[in-house]
Structure formats: C-alpha cells, structure tokens
C-alpha cells in the first residue's frame, strides 16, 4: 500500500506503472492512496522493489503485506 502527498496521485500513479514487477495499481480511498500488486521471485526482490517505490517523489509512506498462494 502506498500513501502519497495530497494532489500528487496522478504523478505517482504514472511512476508506479513504469516499474517492472508491478502487476496492478489500484487507487483506493482511506489511509493509503494506492494498493500495488507486485509479483516477484523472492523476498530480496520484493525488498528492492519496495525501496524503489519509496524513492518516488511524493511517496510519503508504504505498508507491505505479503500474500502467498495456497
């Protein structure tokens, strides 16, 4: 989940869509602005991708939730 500076949603959305490994981006309302679906091989790749997201201008916070297929 990604929280952004108010008014910067379109800019951050565009930046998120450019990142390899991001499968989907959903704009949501509430504490966070986007739910980002990431599909990567392993936690180390996930960590690098989350670090890349945090480096985007106007991203103020992230929250990671890891899911797995049953």
The angle at the Cα of 13, spanning 40 to 5, to the nearest 5 degrees, equals 115
Residue 61: beta bridge partners? 3
At residue 15, the pLDDT reads 98
At residue 53, the pLDDT reads 98
Domains and CATH numbers, the chain: 2-62 (3.30.70.920)
pTM for this model (two decimals): 0.90
Q: Would you state the structure tokens that stand for residue 64, as one six-digit string?
A: 């990671």
Quick check: 68 pLDDT over 80?
A: no
* Cα 14 from Cα 19, distance rounded (Å): 9
Q: What is the pLDDT of residues 38-58, one digit of tens each?
A: 999 889 999 999 999 999 999
Q: What is the pLDDT of residues 7-28, one digit of tens each?
A: 999 999 999 999 999 999 999 9
């Amino acid at each position: 989940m990604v929280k952004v500076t108010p008014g910067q949603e379109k800019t951050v959305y565009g930046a998120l869509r450019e990142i390899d490994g991001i499968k989907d981006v959903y704009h949501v309302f509430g504490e966070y602005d986007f739910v980002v679906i990431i599909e990567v091989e392993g936690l180390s790749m996930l960590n690098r991708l989350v670090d890349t997201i945090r480096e985007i201008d106007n991203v103020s916070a992230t929250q990671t939730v890891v899911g797995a297929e049953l």
